Amino acid sequence: MTRVRGLPAGLALALAGCTPIQSALDPAGSNAGMVFDLGVAMTIGATLVCVLVVVLAWRAVRRSRAEGAWLASPRMVIALGAVLPAVVLTALLAYGFVLDRQLAAEEDRAALTVRVTGEQWWWRVAYLAPDGSPAFETANEIRLPVGQPVRFELESADVIHSFWVPALGGKIDLIPGRTNTVTLLAEREGIYRGQCAEFCGTQHALMAFMARAETPEDFGAWFAAEGGDARQPETEEEVAGHGAFVAAGCGACHAVRGTAAAGTIGPDLTHVGSRLTIAAGTLPNHAGTLAAWVTDAQAIKPGARMPSFDELDGPTLRSIAVYLASLR
Amino acid sequence: MRLPTAFALLPALALLWGCDKPPVARADAGRGDAEDGRTTVASLACGACHSIPGIRAADGTVGPSLAGLGNRNFIAGTLPNDPGTLAAFVRNAPSLVPGTAMPAMPLSEAQAIDVAAFLASLR
């Protein structure tokens, strides 16, 4: 749990480059590793070309007469101006093409498909059954088994978003009206952060998600439990919270499977208590932040579709938060 | 007179205790690490509800600003502002102030003492 609570602080650190939770420079799988290698090759190549250009420019300015003639000779102009770029860019094209094919081939190995739909400003996540129908829905968090490539079908419900977990692979846009695919592979257990990488409106910066890479056993157990109905409220406060949740009409937008709440406008809350964050990576997940979000969503994420339920009294608000936190 | 254990956490008792002897956690409470407390406050996102000086993006308006908390005489307008009570309050506010909107927080006792030390340092 300490790890969980440490996440948002970790996010800030990640941006400062201290924690590898969201870094393309610390790949956690071979897909991201191949992209990283390409990045390293391009950086080294670009540095060499840059140095060459600077040195030649320096010589051109400080040239002796003989050297100037050598630099300006047709042979040098053709060699450095046409042949060298052609060779370098052709090599890069070939590298990129081979890499792209390798990444695409991963898709054939993927046994699991997850459909992710970008919505302003959160991620709808549906794990698909083998026949392609949604097995269950969740939101703002994906889990994947270590060592097994997972295929993602990416769609958008409104504007263009971009799906990017830097530690696990390249980014790809979610475009309204079409389905893009990408295959991610995690080879190291861990919690990674994904972020919308295409400006999609005022709360674009607060459109993140968590990717949790787990052992295949842990993943299998989670998959089986996640598809089930919500945990029944047990304590007096949870029961009261469930009642208040229903009375406030939360079920018009949110689904809690196994209850009357079956809304599809907002994130599925069936197992919301088991997620690391709420409001798409905006806040760590516990009763306190859940209460804050319910009562003050418009201050936390202005423009989001979630209204601020500011008419609830203290104990009612608390009970809803405690109920939501109990939905593990 | 021996009081039932269940009453040990009740606010009224904390208040009464304040008169002649310090609340249970007070000795420990004075030893909280304000820097650790600051880290905990940041990672729990207490700022979702409270405005807290020195914490990035802590500009919540649901609850009161915590600026100058160390100078205040009362917590939540009702409880004496001493380190032990403050630590108990941040950990389980509803047990001390039943009408509060602030839920119990996922804090260990040691973390709560650190958080109280941090809050007391806000002057």
pLDDT at position A70, please? 80
Domain that holds residue B86: 21-120
Is residue B14 one of the residues assigned to a domain? no
Residue A266: closest CA among A154, A178, A140, A165: A140
Strands A208-214, A141-145: pairing kind? parallel
**Tokens at residue A296, please?**
């003050």
Tell me, yes or no, whether A147 and A187 share the same domain.
Answer: yes
Q: Which of A8, A299, A317 sits opposite B101 (nearest CB)?
A: A317
pLDDT of residue B28: 60
Task: Please indicate, yes or no, if residue B105 is contained in any of the structural domains.
Answer: yes
Contact of B69 with B50, CB cutoff 8 Å: no
Q: What is the pLDDT of residues B17-46, one digit of tens each?
A: 444 333 444 456 678 899 999 999 999 999
- Interface probe for A, chosen from B56, B62, B97 (most Cβ of A below 10 Å), is B62
If you average pLDDT over every residue of chain A, what do you get?
A: 91
Chain B, nearest residue to A6 by Cα? B43
**Residue B21 or residue A292, greater confidence:** A292
User: What are A157-166's pLDDT values in tens digits?
Assistant: 999 999 999 9
Q: What contacts A111, CB < 8 A, 6 or more positions away? A: A148
Could you list the residue range(s) of the whole structural domain that residue A53 is in? Answer: 30-108
For A292, which of B48, B98, B104 is closest by C-beta distance?
B48
Chain mean position to CA A278: 14
Residue B84 has pLDDT above 80, yes or no: yes
Confirm whether A10 is domain-assigned: no
Question: Is A71 found in the same domain as A119?
Answer: no
Nearest to A186 by CA among A148, A222, A152: A148
Which member of A5, A7, A289 has the closest CB to residue B48?
Answer: A289
CB atoms within 10 A of CB A233: 20
Q: How many domains does chain A have?
A: 3
A106: buried, middle or exposed (CB in 10 Å: 19+, 13-18, 0-12)? buried
Read off the pLDDT of residues A74-110 as tens digits, 9 standing for 90 and up. Answer: 998 899 989 999 999 999 999 999 999 998 888 888 9
Name every residue whose Cβ is closer than 8 Å to that of residue A189 and which is 6 or more positions away in sequence: A146, A213, A214, A215
Is A296 close to B45, i.e. CB distance below 8 A?
Answer: no
C-beta of residue A32 within 8 angstroms of C-beta of residue A167: yes
Report the distance separating Cα B47 and Cα A57, nearest Å: 54
Residues A177 and A196 both lie in one domain:
yes
**What share of chain A has pLDDT > 90, as a percent?**
80
Is B100 a member of any domain?
yes
pLDDT 10s digits, B99-119: 999 999 999 999 999 999 999
Where is the domain boundary, A226, A261, A291?
Answer: A226
Supply the CATH number for residue A249's domain.
2.60.40.420
Residue A212 — pLDDT band, cuts 50, 70, 90?
very high
Compare A3 and A188 and report the one with higher pLDDT.
A188
Contact: B104, A9; criterion CB under 8 Å? no
* pLDDT class of A6 with cuts at 50, 70, 90: very low
Residue B5 lies in a domain: no
Residue at which a domain ends, from A226, A251, A268: A226
Whether chain B has a CB inside 8 Å of the CB on A301: the answer is: no
If asked whether residues A115 and A96 sit together in one domain, one would say: no
Summarize pLDDT for A229-258 with one digit per residue, the tens. Answer: 999 999 999 999 999 999 999 999 999 999
| Residue A149 included in any domain | yes
Instruction: Answer with the residue of higher pLDDT: A71 or A266.
Output: A266
Give the model's pLDDT for residue A3: 36
The total of structural domains in chain B comes to 1
Of the candidates A178, A197, A200, the residue with the CA atom closest to the CA atom of residue A121 = A200
Residue B8 inside a domain? The answer is: no
Whether B11 is covered by a domain: the verdict is no
> Which CATH number does the domain housing residue B116 bear?
1.10.760.10
Residues A166, A188, single domain; the answer is yes
Is a pLDDT exceeding 90 seen at residue A10?
A: no
Segment B47-54 mean pLDDT: 96
**What confidence score (pLDDT) does residue B4 get?**
46
Return the higher-pLDDT residue of B17 and A43.
A43
ipTM here: 0.81
Q: Which range (A136-150, A305-319, B13-27) has the least confidence? A: B13-27
A288, B62: Cβ pair inside 8 Å?
no
